[in-house]
A and B are shown apart, each in its own frame.
Chain A
Amino acid sequence: GQQVMQIPQYQHVQEGEDFTTYCNSSTTLSNIQWYKQRPGGHPVFLIQLVKSGEVKKQKRLTFQFGEAKKNSSLHITATQTTDVGTYFCAGRTGTASKLTFGTGTRLQVTL
C-alpha cells in the first residue's frame, strides 16, 4: 500500500533558526496537503499543493511540491515558539478520496 514518510522525525531548534521537513511518498500523488497539530490538539489544515513543482508561501512558511509529485517540503524561516507542534503531510493518489498521512515531524522551539 501507499506509504508516506517524513524526515526528520523530530527537530529541536532555537527561536530564529530555520526549519525544514521533508515528505516522501512511495507513489505519485494527485495532490498533497500539510497539517499542523499542536500538542494535545487536533490537525489543522495549512495548505494544499496540486501542480508539479508548485511553490506556495504563507508568511514565514514555504511549501513545495516536487516535479515528480512524489515528494514535498515545508520550510519555516526564523522559527518562533508559536511554531511548536507536529507537521504532517497528507497525500491522495489518483481519484482516491482517502488522505494518507505522513509520519510527521515534531518541532520544538526554545528561546
Chain B
Amino acid sequence: NAGVMQNPRHLVRRRGQEARLRCSPMKGHSHVYWYRQLPEEGLKFMVYLQKENIIDESGMPKERFSAEFPKEGPSILRIQQVVRGDSAAYFCASSPVKGVQLGTEAFFGQGTRLTVV
C-alpha cells in the first residue's frame, strides 16, 4: 500500500506564475488535508476536502489559492500569481473515512517545497 504521494517534490516558480501541487492519498482514504509550513515554523492548516467537496477551507487565503479533490485523480492545490511569500513546504495528509469521526492518525506525504524567485 503506497503512502501519500505528492508531486513534485520541489517546484521553482517565478513571481506571477502559477503553481500546481498534486496529492494522491493512500488507497482507501477519501479525506485530504493541506498544510503549509514556513521554514522553522509549524504546520498551518489550509483546507480539508473529501471527494468532490470542500469541507473546511478556513485556512486558505481568500485570493490566489484554490483546492480541489475530483472524483477521479489526485487532489490539487493551485496557487495563482505566486509571490515570494508563498515559498514554503506544502504538505498533504490523508485519513480514512472512519478517521474523521474516531480521530485516527493523518498520514502525511513528503511535501512539495515551493520556491518563488
Contact = CB atoms under 8 A, between A and B. Distances in A.
B58 interface: yes
Contacts of A44: 108
B105 A48 contact: yes
Question: Interface residue tally of chain A, by bracket?
Answer: 20 to 34
Nearest to A47: B105
A97 B109 CA distance: 18
Contact of B105 (A45, A50, A100, A102): A45
Interface in A46-105: 48, 50, 88, 90, 92, 95-104
A100 B56 CA distance: 12
Given A31-B103, A43-B91, A97 B111 contact: no
Given A88-B43, A97-B100, A98-B56, A33 B31 contact: no
Interface of A: 1, 30-31, 33, 35, 41-45, 48, 50, 88, 90, 92, 95-104, 106
